[in-house]
Structure 1
């Protein structure tokens, strides 16, 4: 395992949430201190397995699955571009829009890019919510080949 001074590529998993914003801020601060590059990965889960999405009672126009995937891809690209533009000049930035299982795609991007560290935020779900949805952060920590830094969603003292 690399020492902190050998960390040159930091992969930050992002979504459009406060939890992600905290991870992004922390990740870019660390990247600046270490002189590291930053990769931003955003994963869209695959849509439900149906060719159409519409409510027949409302007489909505059905949306074909490929169209839904295209909308997800465009939204993902806009999110990554927005974050990259906000952080421009703080570190070299690479973006990785992905579609699939969140944990698998974060780990895949980390391996393909040879990330030295992964940073992600956590929703901090507990109890039944955690049991049902699990924790992407927990799953990434268990399977990652590099260190993973999880940024909690709670402020100290809460």
Structure 2
């Protein structure tokens, strides 16, 4: 059975990638993953404003909300996964652990300074992935 990993940030392009994976490979075993980059989100606050317990509570709320969103996009027979870490690294690790044959993922198509500052998770995954990666952009 074909195994497809679908990373999601819950954007329109990620939803489109999931829909395309389902359409292009009916009957595939799909795992949907959301990676939260806590270092990017909390680094300005770690030693300054918020005590560690507040950061942990916030991370718990983020995890709970992400799991709820994952359950909302999950179809019968699909797996879901929430992890914290560097998105590209965690996507590649999840693909390896899952034994994925393909990765279908959305991209925001950032350009210029936005791409310079935020980079592209999709680009990093494509560069390092030993398996085929389908990049899907929302046409709007």
Would the TM-score normalized by the shorter structure come out above 0.5?
yes
List per-residue Cα deviations over 1:114-146 (Å, max 9, x = no partner). Answer: 100001000011111111111110000011111
What CA distance in whole angstroms lies between the structure 1 residues aligned with 2:50 and 2:137? 35
For residue 31 of structure 1, the aligned residue among 22, 25, 30 is: 25
Provide the alpha-carbon RMSD of the alignment: 2.0
For residue 20 of structure 1, the aligned residue among 4, 11, 14 is: 14
How far the C-alpha of 1:53 sits from its partner, in A, is: 4.0
Note closer, same or farther for the CA distance 1:53–1:27 as it changes in structure 2 (3 Å cut). farther
Tell me the equivalent position of 2:60.
70
Stretches of 4+ aligned residues off by more than 3 angstroms: 51-54
TM-score, normalisation: structure 1: 0.78
- Whether the aligned pair in 2 keeps the contact of 1:12 and 1:118 (CA below 8 Å) is yes
How far the C-alpha of 1:63 sits from its partner, in A, is: 6.8
TM-score, normalisation: structure 2: 0.88
Which is greater in Rg? 1
- 5+ long unaligned stretches in structure 2: none
User: Equivalent residue of 2:80, what SS?
Assistant: strand
Tell me the equivalent position of 1:112.
97
What CA distance in whole angstroms lies between the structure 2 residues aligned with 1:153 and 1:134? 18
State the aligned residue count: 135
- 5+ long unaligned stretches in structure 1: 1-6, 55-61
How far the C-alpha of 1:31 sits from its partner, in A, is: 2.8
